Amino acid sequence: MEFYKYQGTGNDFVMVDNRDLQFPKDKNIIEKLCDRRFGIGADGLILLENDPGYDFKMVYYNSDGGESTMCGNGGRCLVAFAFFLDVFEDKCKFIAIDGEHEAEIHNGIIKLKMIDVDTISHDGNDAVLNTGSPHYVKYVENLADYDVYTQGHNIRNSENYKEKGINVNFVEKISDNEIFVRTYERGVEDETYSCGTGVTASALTFLQKDNLTSVKVKTLGGNLKVYAEKNGGSFCNIWLEGPAKQVFKGKVDIL
């Protein structure tokens, strides 16, 4: 099987052109391909497929082999992959598990439209919201030295969230228009270098407190930017912007 490896701010994915629907959607195969010692190594695997009425369809699997909810960085990487395959020119519309998305690409920078967010609820002092995937957002200090794995693992497996799981984001304010975000991702069950839906969720909680329409976001894997329009407690016209790059391509035996 031919595959491509992409990364978006350190969030890495195995990409497969599955427009011929020949890829075996087997949990064990996908988990093996994502394994960093026995496979290619990735946070997830993404299939590019055809869908009537759209430029393409996104099918996303976590590294544990299970099909999962929306992945923002994965979506940006898939847009870059589709552009590489000449599926579209500069703007596209695709369908994912959470609905329709628009995107555009300019000089390797991908701007991806995310779903609207109607409400931000709270768990104590922390925020809970869905940006295509469920997210828990907690503000902390000294995030560079914070034990993201232990604290994220504990919240993800706590009584309220252990059944369906939740992604856990830790946020530190850097300035009036910039935050630092680190994320523990369910399905990966570890911290990743970046999480697109998590960055979006964290940015919206920050924008909720101020009259900003955009915020810069620092992650371990690089820098992103989130734009949004606020209407009371809801958000629309949400865009996630940042780089996505092809790392390498190859062939792998999946039998």
Q: Is 71 helix (H, G, I), strand (E, B) or coil?
A: coil
Who contacts 240 (Cβ-Cβ below 8 Å, separation ≥6)?
72, 76, 111, 112, 114, 196, 199, 200, 224, 225, 226
Query: Cα angle vertex 251, ends 246, 254, to 5°?
Result: 120
The answer to the question of whether 196 is labelled as a binding residue is: yes
pLDDT digits (tens, 9 = 90+) for 161-174: 999 999 999 999 99
Reported pTM: 0.95
The answer to the question of whether 19 is labelled as a binding residue is: no
Is 232's pLDDT higher than 90?
no
Is 255's pLDDT higher than 80?
no
Is 254's pLDDT higher than 90?
no
The answer to the question of whether 233 is labelled as a binding residue is: no
Is 87's pLDDT higher than 90?
yes
Structural domains of the chain ordered from first start: 2-112+244-251 (3.10.310.10), 120-232 (3.10.310.10)
Q: Catalytic positions, please?
A: 71, 195
